[in-house]
Amino acid sequence: MSITRRDFMRDAVAAATAAAVGVPLTSAEQALAKEAESGWRWDKGVCRFCGVGCGIQIATKEGRIVATKGDPDAPVNRGLNCVKGYFNGRIMYGEDRLTEPLMRMKDGRFDKKADFVPVSWDRAFDEMERQAKKVLDEKGPTGLAIMGSGQYTVPEGYAAVKLMKAGFRSNTIDPNARHCMASAVVGFMQVFGIDEPAGNYDDIEEADTFVLWGANMAECHPILWSRIANRRISSDAADVKIVNITTFTNMSSDLADLELVIKPSADLAIQNYIAREIIARDAVDKEFVESHCVFATGPYDIGYGMRADSSFAYDAEKDIQAKELEVKLDRFEAAGQRREPGEVVKQTNRGSAGKHWTISFEDFKKAVEPYTLEFVTELAKGDPEETVESFREKLEALADFYINRDRNLVSFWTMGFNQHQRGSWVNEQAYMNHLLVGKQARPGNGAFSLTGQPSACGTAREVGTFGHRLPSDMVVANPAHRAKSEKIWKLPSKAINPKPGSHINKIMRDLEDGTVKFAWVQVNNPFQATANANHWITAAREMDNFIVCSDVYPSVSAKVADLILPAAMIFEKWGLYGNAERRTQAWREQVPPPGDARSDVWQMLEFAKRFTIDEVWGEQKVPGLKAEGYEDGKLPDIRQAAREMGYKPDSTLYEVLFANDANRKVKWPDPVAKDHENHTAALLGDGWFPEKALFDEYTQFGRGHGHDLADFDVYYRDDVRGLRWPVVDGKETQWRFNAKYDPYVKAPDFEFYGKALKALPQGDLDKVTNPEKSGLAGKAKIFFRPYAAPVEQPDENFDLWLSTGRVLEHWHTGTMTRRVPQLHRAVPTAQAFVHPDDAAARNLKRNDVVWLESRRGKIKAVLETHGRNRMVRGMVFVPFFDEGVFVNKLTLDATCPLSKETDFKKCAVKVYKA
Partner 1 sequence: MSTYTGRREFLKRMAQGAGVATTGGLLWSFLLGQQRHARANMLRPPGALNEPDFAATCIKCGQCVQACPYGTLSLSPSGAEVPIGTPSFSPRDVPCYMCVDIPCMQACPTGALEHDLERIEDARMGVATIDHESCLSWQGLRCEICYRECPVRNDAITVENRPRRTSGHALFVPVVHASHCTGCGICEYVCPTEVAAIHVLPPELVQGKIGDHYLLSNDAEVDADGGPSASPAGDHDAVPGLEYLNEGER
Catalytic residue of the set 453, 528, 590, 603 = 453
- The rounded distance, in Å, linking the Cα atoms of 283 and 138 is 61
| Closer CB to partner 1, 524 or 831, in the complex | 831
Which range in 30-38, 458-466, 550-558, 804-812 contacts partner 1 by CB under 8 A? Answer: 804-812
| Closer CB to partner 1, 79 or 592, in the complex | 79
**Footprint (CB under 8 A) of partner 1, residues 234-253:** 234, 251
| Closer CB to partner 1, 225 or 417, in the complex | 225
Q: Applying CB under 8 A, which of residues 35, 73, 122, 254 lies at the interface with partner 1?
A: 254
Active site residue 871: no
Active site residue 217: no
Q: Judge contact between 321 and 306, C-beta under 8 A.
A: yes
- The rounded distance, in Å, linking the Cα atoms of 882 and 550 is 20
Do strands 723-724 and 583-587 pair parallel, antiparallel, or not at all (unpaired)? antiparallel
Could you tell me which residues are beta bridge partners of residue 667? Answer: 688
Interaction mask 87-106, partner 1, x per CB under 8 A: x-------------------
Q: Judge contact between 569 and 622, C-beta under 8 A.
A: no
Binding of residue 829 to partner 1 (CB under 8 A): no
Nearest to 223 by CA among 69, 51, 90: 51
Omega of the bond prior to 669 within 30 degrees of 0, cis?
yes
Binding of residue 25 to partner 1 (CB under 8 A): no
- The rounded distance, in Å, linking the Cα atoms of 174 and 336 is 34
* E strand or H helix at 213: strand 209-213
| Closer CB to partner 1, 98 or 872, in the complex | 872
Q: Applying CB under 8 A, which of residues 233, 237, 238, 344 lies at the interface with partner 1?
A: 233
**Footprint (CB under 8 A) of partner 1, residues 831-870:** 845-847, 866, 868
Binding of residue 827 to partner 1 (CB under 8 A): yes
Which range in 36-44, 256-264, 696-704, 806-814 contacts partner 1 by CB under 8 A? Answer: 806-814
Active site residue 415: yes
| Closer CB to partner 1, 324 or 864, in the complex | 864
* E strand or H helix at 394: helix 388-403
Active site residue 762: no
Q: Applying CB under 8 A, which of residues 510, 697, 809, 853 lies at the interface with partner 1?
A: 809
- The rounded distance, in Å, linking the Cα atoms of 8 and 443 is 58
DSSP conformation letters of 39-62: TSEEEEEE-SSSTT--EEEEEEET
Binding of residue 274 to partner 1 (CB under 8 A): no
Q: At what angle do helices 154-161 and 600-608 cross, to 10 degrees?
A: 20
Rg (CA), the chain: 27
Inter-CA distances, 717 with 56, 112, 558, 712, 713, Å: 15, 48, 37, 10, 7
| Closer CB to partner 1, 140 or 222, in the complex | 222
| Closer CB to partner 1, 32 or 80, in the complex | 80
Q: Applying CB under 8 A, which of residues 44, 48, 86, 139 lies at the interface with partner 1?
A: 86
| Closer CB to partner 1, 66 or 229, in the complex | 229
Which range in 219-227, 414-422, 566-574, 604-612 contacts partner 1 by CB under 8 A? Answer: 219-227
Binding of residue 208 to partner 1 (CB under 8 A): no
- Rounded least distance, CB 590 to partner 1, Å: 22
> What values do phi and psi take at 642, rounded to 5?
-65, -40
Active site residue 342: no
- Rounded least distance, CB 589 to partner 1, Å: 27
Q: Applying CB under 8 A, which of residues 66, 255, 279, 756 lies at the interface with partner 1?
A: 255
Conformational region of residue 693, where left means phi above 0, alpha means psi within -120 to 50, and beta covers everything else: alpha
Which range in 231-239, 360-368, 564-572, 852-860 contacts partner 1 by CB under 8 A? Answer: 231-239
Nearest to 231 by CA among 79, 469, 56, 444: 444
- Rounded least distance, CB 230 to partner 1, Å: 4
- 646, with CB counted inside 10 A (0-12, 13-18, 19+), is exposed
Which range in 375-383, 450-458, 780-788, 819-827 contacts partner 1 by CB under 8 A? Answer: 819-827
Q: Applying CB under 8 A, which of residues 230, 387, 390, 770 lies at the interface with partner 1?
A: 230
- Rounded least distance, CB 222 to partner 1, Å: 4
Which range in 220-228, 590-598, 722-730, 797-805 contacts partner 1 by CB under 8 A? Answer: 220-228
Inter-CA distances, 473 with 187, 695, 735, Å: 13, 16, 19
- Rounded least distance, CB 510 to partner 1, Å: 40
- The rounded distance, in Å, linking the Cα atoms of 815 and 642 is 43
Nearest to 723 by CA among 733, 713, 738: 733
Q: Which amino acid is at 240?
A: V
Catalytic residue of the set 180, 251, 432, 896 = 180
Catalytic residue of the set 82, 105, 181, 549 = 181
Binding of residue 673 to partner 1 (CB under 8 A): no
Catalytic residue of the set 143, 452, 814, 874 = 452
| Closer CB to partner 1, 405 or 825, in the complex | 825
| Closer CB to partner 1, 77 or 433, in the complex | 77
Binding of residue 720 to partner 1 (CB under 8 A): no
| Closer CB to partner 1, 668 or 881, in the complex | 881
> What values do phi and psi take at 707, rounded to 5?
-120, 30
Q: Count CA atoms within 13 Å of residue 216 on its CB side.
A: 21
Binding of residue 212 to partner 1 (CB under 8 A): no
Q: Judge contact between 601 and 583, C-beta under 8 A.
A: no
Tell me, by CB under 8 A, how many residues bind partner 1.
40
Q: Applying CB under 8 A, which of residues 115, 205, 319, 711 lies at the interface with partner 1?
A: 205
Q: How many CB atoms sit inside 10 A of residue 817's CB?
A: 26
The length of the chain, given as a count of residues: 914
Binding of residue 914 to partner 1 (CB under 8 A): no
Active site residue 180: yes
Q: Judge contact between 621 and 135, C-beta under 8 A.
A: no
Q: Which amino acid is at 451?
A: T
Catalytic residue of the set 415, 549, 871, 875 = 415
Q: Which amino acid is at 232?
A: R
Q: Applying CB under 8 A, which of residues 1, 2, 4, 22 lies at the interface with partner 1?
A: 22
| Closer CB to partner 1, 243 or 376, in the complex | 243
N-term to C-term CA, the chain = 64
- The rounded distance, in Å, linking the Cα atoms of 126 and 132 is 10
| Closer CB to partner 1, 219 or 277, in the complex | 219
Q: Applying CB under 8 A, which of residues 67, 83, 728, 768 lies at the interface with partner 1?
A: 83
Binding of residue 826 to partner 1 (CB under 8 A): yes
Conformational region of residue 523, where left means phi above 0, alpha means psi within -120 to 50, and beta covers everything else: left
Interaction mask 62-81, partner 1, x per CB under 8 A: --------x------xxxxx
- Rounded least distance, CB 546 to partner 1, Å: 40
Which range in 28-36, 110-118, 702-710, 824-832 contacts partner 1 by CB under 8 A? Answer: 824-832
- Rounded least distance, CB 484 to partner 1, Å: 42
Distance between alpha carbon 578 and the CA centroid of its chain, in Å? 12
Q: Which amino acid is at 20?
A: A
Nearest to 623 by CA among 143, 134, 165: 143
* Beta-carbon contacts of residue 485 (< 8 Å; ≥ 6 apart): 165, 166, 470, 471, 474, 491, 496, 701
**Any idea which residues carry the catalytic annotation?**
84, 180-181, 415, 452-453
Binding-site ranges for partner 1 (CB under 8 A): 22, 70, 77-83, 85-87, 205, 222-223, 225-227, 229-234, 251, 254-255, 807-809, 822-823, 825-827, 845-847, 866, 868
